[in-house]
Amino acid sequence: MTSVGAVTRQIAALEISNKKPATASSSTTTRPGHTKQSSQSNVSKLLTKFAAPNPFPNQPSTKPTQPSSLRNPAQTSRQPSPTNATQQTIDIGSYDGGLEIDNEKRGERVYGEAAEELALDSSVSRRSPTREWHLNDFDMGRPLGKGKFGRVYMVRTKSEPKYILALKTLYKSEIVQSKVEKQIRREIEIQQNLRHPNVLRLYGYFHDEKRIFLMLEFAGKGELYKQLSKHGCFTEKRSSRYIDQMADALMYLHGKHVIHRDIKPENLLLGINGELKIGDFGWSVHAPGNRRMTLCGTLDYLPPEMVEGKEHTEKVDYWALGVLTYEFMIGNPPFEDRNSVNNTYRRIAKVDLKFPSHISTDAKDLISKLLQYDPQKRLALSEVLRHPWIVKYRQKGVVRESAT
């Protein structure tokens, strides 16, 4: 086995971006060509064992060894502490004191209705209560990034078996100033009830006078957008495998009456084994009636019905999946016009779709069937999972129930 010192050095070397990428429509940087990504299998194996457990024991890559101590202890029997000492030597990096520095300089207490709406604590959740959590329950590690409302840190629970998580901070007063209290609450309520291997897990949340803290699954290989920017584009094989995972995750979300509405590379993360994770539910909506009117999302990924101000359904996510497939292989969205926002709108409305010559016939077929003007004509996600281009590159041993 790899030495502890070597493992900690490799984990410390994991590239997690701390910069918010520019959107494709505003960037003028040309992405470099595709190069092979180095392997980090030893690090992945260790992090698989000591990251917070995946709730899907039938997934071979992330089988947990015991029930999660993140749940309410009243709901699970007490488990013996693990004896493997390696977990305590996994390096979560050095804490920079950023939370204390931030707390001195930013944010204010909120009062009244806003304070009640943002008093979010998963220990009193009606559906899936957790144990009660506080900031001092964690060993703080290195910063993973900065969001609009606060920082994200790599942390480890002090209680056994010392799970590794990403802790995201949100300042209440900044949420109120941006008038997104309901959106934040909705995002948390949606994400806490999702259980899918390609959806970033929200394990719990708690708050203090000024902040909300989200306990998120640690995505060990960071932002997918960073990989796409690094390589310029992905191979068809890699693209196909990502879209396979995306289609399966979107089928799950739609089965829960959740429309994502903002699928794009910037909102996707990569897990410790390179698996794709949908990681941002800021524009998601729980819509049992499946018909919405709000214009939201990112311009390059908007479908014709949103551009034209019409009602939309979960099939906006079908369109976004087609745009994502195209961007993975070409390196930019299909309708992007960097000189004119209006031209981008017009190209979307006309479905002005053009393919480079190197794209395979099967890939073109899948993209064309997803990027249909009429939402009812877009290829169903169950059919995406059966499409020849997806089946051709699917990893051995992976079984999609919807594809059988």
pTM: 0.77
Q: Decide: helix, strand or coil at residue 239.
A: helix
Which CATH number goes with the domain that contains 265?
1.10.510.10
Q: How far, in Å, CA of 266 to CA of 226, rounded?
A: 8
Residues 285 and 210 in one domain: no
pLDDT of residue 173: 95
Domain-located, residue 55: no
Which is nearest to 54 in space by CA: 191, 193, 203? 203
Residues 250 and 138 in one domain: no
Residues 209 and 105 in one domain: yes
Residues 160 and 254 in one domain: no
Domain-located, residue 201: yes
Domain-located, residue 50: no
Q: Which residues contact 346 (CB under 8 A, 6 or more apart)?
A: 352
Residues 317 and 395 in one domain: yes
> Which of 179, 203, 218 lies at the terminal end of a domain, its last residue?
218
Q: How high is the mean pLDDT in each 10-residue block of the chain (404 residues)?
A: 39 36 38 38 48 47 46 49 49 92 90 93 89 95 87 93 93 92 87 92 95 94 91 97 97 91 89 90 44 51 90 92 97 91 92 96 98 97 98 89 71
Residues 339 and 209 in one domain: no
Q: 280 a known binding residue?
A: yes
DSSP conformation class of 269: E
Residues 237 and 382 in one domain: yes
pLDDT of residue 77: 40
Q: How far, in Å, CA of 120 to CA of 207, rounded?
A: 6
> Which of 203, 218, 233 lies at the terminal end of a domain, its last residue?
218
pLDDT of residue 282: 52
Q: Are 233 and 161 in contact (CB under 8 A)?
A: no
pLDDT of residue 303: 93
Domain-located, residue 257: yes
pLDDT of residue 377: 98
Give me the active site residues, please.
Answer: 262
Q: 219 a known binding residue?
A: yes
Q: 148 a known binding residue?
A: yes
Which is nearest to 377 in space by CA: 325, 303, 310, 308? 303
Domain that holds residue 345: 224-403
> Which of 162, 195, 218 lies at the terminal end of a domain, its last residue?
218
Residues 207 and 229 in one domain: no
Angle between helices 236-255 and 316-330 (to 10 degrees): 160
Residues 275 and 327 in one domain: yes
| Residue 174: Cβ within 10 Å count | 18
Q: Decide: helix, strand or coil at residue 213.
A: strand
Residues 293 and 179 in one domain: no
Which three-class secondary structure string do you get for the chain?
CCCHHHHHHHHHCCCCCCCCCCCCCCCCCCCCCCCCCCCCHHHHHHHHHHECCCCCCCCHHHCCCCCCCCECHHHCCCCCCCCCHHHHHCCCCCCCCHHHHHHHHCCCCCCHHHHHHCCCCHHHCCCCCECCCCHHHEEEEEEEEEECCEEEEEEEECCCCCCEEEEEEEEHHHHHHCCCHHHHHHHHHHHHCCCCCCECCEEEEEECCCEEEEEEECCCCCEHHHHHHHHCCCCHHHHHHHHHHHHHHHHHHHHCCEECCCCCHHHEEECCCCCEEECCCCCCEECCCCCECCCCCCHHHCCHHHHCCCCECCCHHHHHHHHHHHHHHHCCCCCCCCCCHHHHHHHHHHCCCCCCCCCCHHHHHHHHHHCCCCHHHCCCHHHHCCCHHHHHHCCCCCCCHHHC
pLDDT of residue 359: 97
Number of domains composing the chain? 2
pLDDT of residue 395: 87
pLDDT of residue 74: 55
Q: Are 118 and 110 in contact (CB under 8 A)?
A: yes
Residues 185 and 234 in one domain: no
Residues 270 and 242 in one domain: yes
Q: How far, in Å, CA of 236 to CA of 243, rounded?
A: 10
Domain-located, residue 65: no
DSSP assignments along 56-75, one per residue: -TTSGGG--SS--TTB-GGG
Domain-located, residue 362: yes
Scanning the structure block, which residue is given the tokens 């998601």? 284
Domain-located, residue 112: yes
Which CATH number goes with the domain that contains 210?
3.30.200.20
Q: Are 51 and 217 in contact (CB under 8 A)?
A: yes
Q: 217 a known binding residue?
A: yes
Domain-located, residue 196: yes
